[in-house]
Structure 1
Amino acid sequence: MSLLRPTCAALARRLCTSQPYIEHASRSSILALIQSHRTPRSQCRAFNTTPRYLAKVIDPPQNPTIPQHPKRTVRIGPLPDGRVDDGTIQRIFSRRLSPSDGNNVLRILHHRRTAGSLADYGVDNLGKHYTHVNRDLALKGLEWLREKYPIDEARAAQEWAEKEANRISYELWLADPETESKYKDPARAFKEQMEKEEQERQQQELDGRKIGILHVGKSQFERNIEEKRRERLEEITRIAEEKEQKEREMEEKLESGEWVRTPTGTQLMKPGQSTYVDVFGREQVSRRKEEQEKYSKASAATDAKTPEELLAQTTLIERIWPMSTFVLAVVLLSIGAAHYYTPPAPAYRLYPDLSPTTATIGALLALNCGLAIAWRFMPLWPLLTRYFMHVPGYPRAFQAIGNVFSHVQYEHLLANMMMLCLVGPVAHDLVGRGTFIGTYISAGAVGTLFSLYWANLGRGNIMAHSVGASAAIWGVAALFCLLTDQEKLKIPFFKDKEVAFWPKMLFVAFVLWEIQTALKKKMTTMDHASHFGGMFVGIGTAGYMRATGFHEKKLGLKEGDGMQARADVDAKTVDVGAMAKEGVKEVRESLTRGNK
């Protein structure tokens, strides 16, 4: 029959493989078989198929069971502070547990707290070696741990639940890979798919044939689509593998106890670190503290920790002689510049529309502000500390000038630049650019030298660090107050309000205030020695100019070149507000012409 018709072949297979039902027992076997043949046909297996294969192919499991895996080994680390002493164990467990058992019980309970499994296991079933530990003893240990080592147990329990859910879903997928799940391993699925496609490609190459000028197989367009798809799957696989590797590394770091999770839980950070949100809304760990420590060590001139260690590294002559020679050369060059400086012609000036006073003060402001901004970049700290910060215990010659233009704190910069803008223009108008610049630099260098001598020969702090333009500004202020003949001071922001101006008495008051501040026993961050050095240069320069007939020679600016003259200020009046307005006007006009 099976040779005559295909339906008969199917009928023959049913005769060989079907089992009679109980309800068909009263009927004949032929009739029952025909009736069953009229029902929708079910899938039949071949004659050589085993029942085991039939169970897999015909009836796939709808609810796959989780495969049995070897029991996982849980590593329980020590307590954060190490082993608990015997007396504390006896107080916790009322002398009912030995010190060894008590420590182990505390370790197990603390591991469950940190891992999050305390929500599932509780304090029971501590192991076959601790069956004698009842619930009351375990609760006492848990209470002591919560008081001694407080942690967020709720968060740990939430993370534990998520990991367990992921693990169970992954094991279910391993039992039935065809089941779609969001926890499906993309790396493994991709590798299997690639192996299958490679086998199909090789088989097509073996079976490929040519009909005339036509080639059998996939077109170039289809191959390009498959290539793009392969590249996309490779990228997905790479991202998944990197994420899994990152999670494993995070778990290992957390187990060490040296790392904690960030507030959002996406990253790890060390205790004491802080986080911030970047412009893209992502949480980032701030490593400013570590970078500060790194560059602070790199910028340290020496590894000495105490003044004695610092002094032992160099001799007194090695600390004093190089800077003394350098400052002497700077003073001689400044004197030469003051005597022989000639203002350049407008054609050779970078900004010919600006008065020399505005250009000089503006350049000093720009240089000081530029170095203050440079201090905000930590990679520049080694260079700035080496040449732009004065260290009396380990000095370098160039620090005598470099620290005059350097400011670390914005408050210090603002105070010094405000004084420079107040006294600088009037002093520049009075003595000219050559004498002004020479006095400014010489006062700063000599002030640094005074600070060096006071720290090494006097009672100063050998490990102090000094920066700032205070000494230079004191020198310029002393020069102006001792040379000017102006008698009135116009108050800014008040129209036609003037007061009497006694510059020499004002300078004496400043000197007395500086002496009083320096003699106070209270610790201060001001470098009074450098201030006195700057005053000394200003007084010396003013005395020399008066002795050589300053008012007769008139070494200042040419008629009409000063800011006071441009602002129509009386020669006997100091009008800081009018000079400031004139300076702003000059800068605005210069920029406007430059844009045109």
Structure 2
Amino acid sequence: MPILLPPNSLCSSRIGLRAVIRVSQTPPVAALAARAFSTSPAPARQSCLQYSTWGVVRPCKASYIRNTQHLKPHSQLRTLFTFRAITHYIDIPDWYQDAEGLPFRREDLTQKEANKIFPSSLPAPQANLLLKILHGRRVAGTLDDPSLARNTRQFRIVDQKKALEYLREHIPVDEILMAGLRAEDELKSLEEQDIGAQEVGKSQETSPQDSPASSQEKTFKIPTGRLPRKPGSDSPYGESNFDKIRAANIAKREAEEARLEEERKLREEQLAKENIGTLQTRQEQPRQISEFRKRHMERATSDLEAPPEMSVGQRLFPTIGMAVLVILGSIGFAVMYQAPPSSRRLWPDIPPAAATCLTLIAANVAVYALWKFPPAWAFLNKYMLLVAATPRPLQILGAMFSHQSLGHLFANMFFLWFFGTRVHDEIGRGSFLALYFSSGAVGFAASLTHLVLWRGLAYTTLGASGGVYGLITAFFWMHKFDEFKIFGYPPDPLSGPQGLGFIGLILGVHLIPLFMRRGSNVDMASHFGGILVGALGIDMARQYMDYKAQARAKRLNMGLQTTTIEEKSISPLPVEESPSSHSKR
């Protein structure tokens, strides 16, 4: 949602667009779009409000086989059913065993969640097992059964108490009622066991040749799970009217599903006959890949079946070292850079800020086009894509220019132009390029660290989002106390939000997904790295600009003082009258 700014403002983005339109003789429609981007140094500064949420992490289908078809983001599947823990004795499934317990939530606890419950830092798998066993005992009414203590003997008493406190707080179970139902179950089983023993005794009297094994088969064991249910009913108390109604509904639903399946099969047969085999051919034969694409795909695909055996330091330190070199080189470039005269510029009619941003945009578009060219896949997979399984130091530079989605490319380039021209106008080309490349390099170093330590080696990342977020943060940090309006709102005399408010909004948008369990294909680590460098780098750039201004003013003052002293030291010589002048007088 860009901001429309006053028409009397002047910015390189607006001048640059007009120059490009004038050179390319673009229709007037583009000229109207160019007028939408401008800025003003008015007291209540107005500028842009838009940021990108791009910067994708793309998982490969195979962990270490890389080509362009493997770089699509994961699609998240949402279940239609809500998980509910079993909390009643009669609902315990037949497969229940005390050593395995019952699930108490949809997903197991993470190590961070387990540490909050167990101060002893119990490992997450052990913590989940203990909670499942104790939850199963609460539902089965066997919390005080000493015969089952062997299944929890490996856990400390303190951890067991903490687990019970957690379960009783979050999963309500009437433990007294469950224990009563369990007692009735055991009593009934003991009575059946006595009856069975009497029958076995009678059978042994009538047929003494029976083996002990056959007699053991007729003995009854006390059930460890739920009440014994009568055949044909899910209720321990027999078949009720509700059970009959439910059975009728289930039968009706199954009949309807069978009818729909038959209709689907008939419809497919009719379509196959009407299309004379065309539909069948399309369904049975997948899209064939040309030999040209297949050859270059195999050439660009790694033959590794597993990630190389490397320590965490071996994966991270070369890339982090390259990021440090990029930062140092950027600082040196910013200090040594001297703007060329207009006669030596490639596009003298376009402002320097517009020329710089257009060059970066052209480089990104060129790399995007290369992804559509199969012979370039082998090179792009090595150097224009950050791969967690096989990282290379130069990947953090190449990935800054690499996009595989047109929407991703357009969003990043739009904000590069919109914010980049404004930042360029205020700090100059040397500091601008230093800030952009440092933000991108640190962003990818942070992304690789996140992938290697937490997310996994099956992921890759690419995009200019780290550098773009560095520019966005730098712009709002420069104007952190200036007020902004969006399409003229809020109207005067109300004041708009300050630049710090927009920085807080950007951080909030990035922090919210961290607390959500749903996976995301957005490279948050790269964004955070770019934001950090943008805030720190713009302060360094402004301080260096102030230092240069003070040094320039000092040189000018010294030059003026030297000129004044020289003028004072040269006095005019007296003019002597010649004798001829006296004679003429």
TM category (shorter chain) comes to 0.3 to 0.5
TM-score under structure 1 normalisation? 0.43
Larger radius of gyration: 1
Tell which has more relative contact order, 1 or 2 (C-alpha 8 A, sep 6+). Answer: 2
TM-score relative to the length of structure 2: 0.43
